[in-house]
Every structure is written in structure tokens, then in C-alpha cells.
Amino acid sequence: MENNNQEAIFNLMQNVVDKLDEISIDINNKNAEKPESNFLINLPIEFNKLVSQQNTIFKQIDTSKQELINSLKSSKETNETHNNKYIMFGKDSPLNTRFVIYMIAFVIISWSGIKYLPPYFLEQSELQQEKKNYELFYNYLYLKQIDSKNNSAQKLEVILNKIKNGNDNIYKEYNSLFTKHQKELRKQELENELKQLQ
């Protein structure tokens, strides 16, 4: 604002100087045209005109100064400084509570997905591979029994039908055979360990 005031004063002073230059050029032109005697006669009149013009210009400068001072005084009351503070959390922050909750939920879900999903898919692929192996084993035994022309192929079909029907006796028999088989495996492992120790 102060720079604007200085520029306004500078412009007014420049106008005064320009006006005085114009007047002096006019006077020089008139003097060149008129004889020397007219110049001496008109000199006090021209001088008075210049002084009156200078006085009016000074009055204009004073009034413009007063206007600028008054505008500065009135603008000092409304002078505002803008300090921007960026707050991450709080009532004035751009992050509201809902946004923060969504971000936390997203991070938790992403973290658990990254941590727990790959082992789940691995287990699923292992189970599928194991299922394929058992199917292949069953089909191999079944086709081998059919090829040998024994009654064991028919027995396998009967067992398969019982499993499909959900017969409880089959499950009980399976559990007892499975535990017996596990015990046999463990017994063989222990015997092998005994042989290695001796």
C-alpha cells in the first residue's frame, strides 16, 4: 500500500515537471516569434501564470496526499495477515473421523489378507493335490482288481456305495483300521530306531 502511495506522488510530481516543461517550451516558442520588447512586457504575466499553476499543482499534491493518508488510516484497521497452519488431526483438519476409520479398516483388512490368505491358498492346493492322489490310487486299485478278475472289485464297489449312502458302520470300521494302521507304522518306526541304537 505504501508503494502505491509513493508511486502516486511520483506520478503527480512527474506531471508537474512535464507541465512546466510544456510551459517553458511554449514560452520559448512565443519569445522566438515575438520581439524582445514583448517578452519583457509579458514576463511578469507569464511568471504569475507559472506561479499560479505551480500553486494549483501543489494544492492538488497536498489534497492527494491527504486522501492517501486518510485511506491508509482507514485501511490500517482492516489490515489482515494470513497465516496458514495445516493441522493433520483435530476439528480443523482435512481428515475427518470417518475417513480415518476407513483408512484404519483398509489397512487392517489388507494386512490380514496379506498375512493369512497365501497360507490358505497353499493349504487348498495341497488338499486338492492330496485328493487327486487318493482318486488316482483308488482308480488304480479298482482297475487292477477288475483286471485280475477277483471279487475284490465288487467289494470295492459295495464299500463305495456304503460311503455314498452315509453308513455309520463304514466310518467306525474306517476309524478302527486307521488307528490300527497308525499303530503299526509307529511300531515299525520304533523298531527301526532300536536297530539303529544297537
Taking only the tens place, the pLDDT of each residue in 35-45 is: 555 666 777 78
Q: Which residue has the cell 485511506?
A: 71
pLDDT digits (tens, 9 = 90+) for 157-190: 777 777 778 778 877 887 787 788 889 889 999 9
Most confident residue range from 18-32, 82-96, 140-154: 18-32
Instruction: State residue 18's pLDDT score.
Output: 87
Q: Where are the domains of the chain?
A: 2-77, 104-149
C-alpha cell at position 118? 497365501
Greatest CA span in the chain, whole angstroms? Answer: 158
> How far is it, in rounded angstroms, from Cα 112 to Cα 105?
11
pLDDT digits (tens, 9 = 90+) for 73-127: 776 555 566 666 666 666 666 667 777 788 899 998 888 777 777 776 767 777 7
> How far is it, in rounded angstroms, from Cα 46 to Cα 53?
10
Instruction: State residue 1's pLDDT score.
Output: 56
- Considering the chain, what is the average pLDDT of its residues? 77
Q: What angle do CA 47, 50, 56 make, to 5 degrees?
A: 145
C-alpha cell at position 52? 499560479
For 59, half-sphere exposure in the C-beta direction (CA atoms, 13 angstrom radius) is 6
- What is the reported pTM? 0.30
Residue 128: exposure state from Cβ atoms within 10 A (0-12, 13-18, ≥19): exposed
Handedness of CA 85, 86, 88, 94 (dihedral sign): positive
The confidence band for 32, taking pLDDT boundaries of 50, 70 and 90, is low
Instruction: State residue 83's pLDDT score.
Output: 67
Q: Which residue has the cell 520588447?
A: 37
C-alpha cell at position 189? 518306526
Contact between residue 8 and residue 68 where contact means Cβ atoms under 8 Å apart: yes
C-alpha cell at position 142? 479298482
Please report which residue ranges of the chain form alpha helices under DSSP H: 2-33, 36-77, 97-148, 152-165, 168-197
